[in-house]
Structure 1
Amino acid sequence: MASRPSNPSPSLLFLFLFMISSGIAAQKTTHLHFYFHETVRGPDATSIVVASLHKNSSTFGDIHVFDNALRESADPSSKLIGRAQGLATSSSLTDLSALTAINLVFTAGELNGSTLSLFGRVEGVTGPDDRSIVGGSGLFRLARGFALSRTVNISSTGYIVEFDVHVKHYY
């Protein structure tokens, strides 16, 4: 006796229709432009070396942890829009490059409470540097994209880095 095809359950059909209606059409692309303000010296340092194995001039293996301001412009008094929190590990024997893992935590405007997670290589202060966006939260759930950065100001106490971020997400 031949078997009769079964009817799909209503919940499975609903799930399929939901996936189609919220699929590719819901994907958005967002472009963000901001500045990362890092202080490496003084009582208000936002970046510190937490591990260093060398007593000489090599930085290979050093680990830096940071919690830097994200601002609308290169001006240190411009509007604070979030924090760049993460770490950098000096990972090259021959130059000043580092492996970075950064959470961009937005605290202002419509992005308040959302994050982007970046991962990639920084090649000293010469730039431009290109990092991958590997995820996000809030408005940036399922985020993918890239972030280009370049140092725009170097002083005795820190750096100002310009970020140009292109992200695809679903909210």
Structure 2
Amino acid sequence: MKVDSTLTFALILSVCAIFVPTIGSYISKRFDLKMKELEFKKDLSVNNYSTVLTAFQEFTVASGAVLSRIDLKEMPSRNELQTFESACLKCLLFLDEEDRNQFQKFRVLVKIKFGHTDPRGTGPYLFHMDFIQSAMLKSLGGTPPDATYSAFNRCVSIAHRHIGELLTQKL
């Protein structure tokens, strides 16, 4: 049995007519899936950046309000303290352990400034050591640095570093 070349050509074309659209559709669907995945990652990155930025901005604003009360030697309102606590705790979600400890230290120092007891359970010994160190510094003619403001500056530096890292990842 001899097969005509036109018949062979027609058979090959009919097989191709079946498989080529299927392969094209498969490639198109994979491309669409990849594009959706990239779009999802972009949206996630934008949301993540805005969430972190908002948390650190809230922390800075709430800390500024509480620190201004310290400067004026006034007690903050319950709402201001709750906002400060909430802002500090939101930031802890985005920090590693070392940075988290810095934020916790600042939070505790602010609470101590307003007469709360130290929740870490440190006794009066550390208070006396700080008092002795500041008295020695005063006797030498210097003024002791306020640990609360130093801790705040470290927290702001940490926040700045994390926002910068997010910006470089975003770009």
Structure 2 length-normalised TM? 0.26
* Greater RCO structure (CA 8 Å; 6+ sep): 2
Q: Which has the larger radius of gyration?
A: 2
TM-score (norm. length: structure 1) = 0.26
Which has a greater percent of strand? 1
